[in-house]
């Protein structure tokens, strides 16, 4: 069972999650790690968090020069496309803080096909990490069908054990083509934080937490040696106590 943290509303959730992340970055860097390795999520839910981190105190208090960012998934669209997860995080947060360009590991989508894009991102990650990375933080959203990153229900990629990044060509959530980190990388993380808000997620949250593992990709998120926090607002988890 993940650790549930319930906030009154989306704004408060963004505020509290920002506090958590800033503290976690401080903890990791103060124990001697040279960089904080952080996987960002796409979609709409994290935008309020990214915006909050772009403002005081976090825009200056977080040592951004020691933060390296990656993406859990990206849509196979031009970097300038409104659907791009990299574009969203860059506009809302990364261009507003002093994170060096060399610390931003964005998937490239300027390839003829999504397969090449996924292969290149895996190559980039392997060049940096050599062995399977243990990210300090992986942010995830939750789809109404229980998907995480671009790993959708019944996808063969849910049981992928070798590849770090896979191409997705039939996403039920447009855009159709995406690249996604695989579960071995997600589950090797030290901390995984879901950001879930809105009434539309209440049903999948209730089912995923109460039904046996299998139907929902979010149920496959279980780090070997790490923690999983689900940040939810009251609309997504009507039964919860407030944090
Ligand atoms: C994406 C995301 C995806 C997202 C969920 C929730 O690229 O679409 O990575 O996994 O996190 O679909 O999306 P919302 O936050 O917009 O509800």
Closest-CA residue, ligand 1 atom 8, reads: 43
Closest-CA residue, ligand 1 atom 15, reads: 45
Ligand 1 center to residue 50 CA distance, Å? 14
Pocket of ligand 1 (CB under 6 A): 41-45, 73, 75, 85, 141-143, 147-149, 173
Would you state the pLDDT for residue 224? 84
**pLDDT lower than 50: segments of the chain:** 241-243
Closest-CA residue, ligand 1 atom 5, reads: 143
Give strand pairing partners of 139: 193
Would you state the pLDDT for residue 242? 44
Judge contact between 189 and 222, C-beta under 8 A. Answer: no
Would you state the pLDDT for residue 243? 44
Residue 229 half-sphere exposure, CB side, CA atoms within 13 Å?
Answer: 18
- Alpha-carbon gap, residue 119 to 115, rounded angstroms: 6
Closest-CA residue, ligand 1 atom 12, reads: 143
Q: Identify which of 190, 163, 162, 186 has the alpha carbon closest to the alpha carbon of residue 72.
A: 186
Q: Where are the alpha helices (DSSP H) in 97-201?
A: 114-129, 183-186
- Alpha-carbon gap, residue 221 to 37, rounded angstroms: 18
List, for residues 114-160, the tens digit of each pLDDT value.
999 999 999 999 999 999 999 999 999 999 999 999 999 999 999 99
Ligand 1 center to residue 31 CA distance, Å? 32
């Amino acid at each position: 069972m993940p650790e549930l943290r319930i906030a009154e509303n989306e704004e408060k959730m963004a505020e509290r999650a920002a506090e958590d992340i800033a503290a976690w970055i401080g903890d990791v860097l103060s124990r001697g790690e040279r960089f904080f390795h952080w996987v960002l999520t796409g979609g709409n839910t994290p935008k309020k968090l990214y915006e909050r981190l772009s403002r005081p105190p976090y825009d200056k208090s977080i040592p951004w020069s020691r933060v390296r960012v990656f993406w859990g998934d990206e849509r196979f669209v031009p970097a300038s496309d409104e659907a791009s997860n990299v574009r969203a995080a860059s506009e809302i947060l990364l261009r507003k803080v002093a994170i060096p360009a060399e610390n931003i590991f964005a998937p490239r989508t300027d390839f003829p096909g999504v397969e090449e894009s996924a292969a290149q991102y895996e190559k980039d990650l392997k060049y940096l990490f050599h062995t399977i990375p243990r990210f300090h933080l992986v942010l995830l959203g939750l789809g109404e069908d229980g998907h995480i990153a671009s790993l959708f229900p019944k996808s063969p990629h849910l049981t992928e054990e070798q590849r770090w990044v896979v191409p997705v060509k039939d996403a039920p959530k447009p855009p159709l083509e995406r690249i996604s980190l695989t579960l071995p990388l997600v589950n090797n993380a030290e901390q995984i934080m879901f950001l879930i808000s809105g009434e539309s997620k209440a049903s999948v949250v209730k089912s995923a937490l109460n039904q046996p593992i299998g139907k929902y990709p979010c149920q496959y998120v279980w780090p070997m040696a790490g923690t999983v926090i689900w940040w939810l607002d009251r609309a997504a988890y009507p039964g919860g106590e407030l944090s």
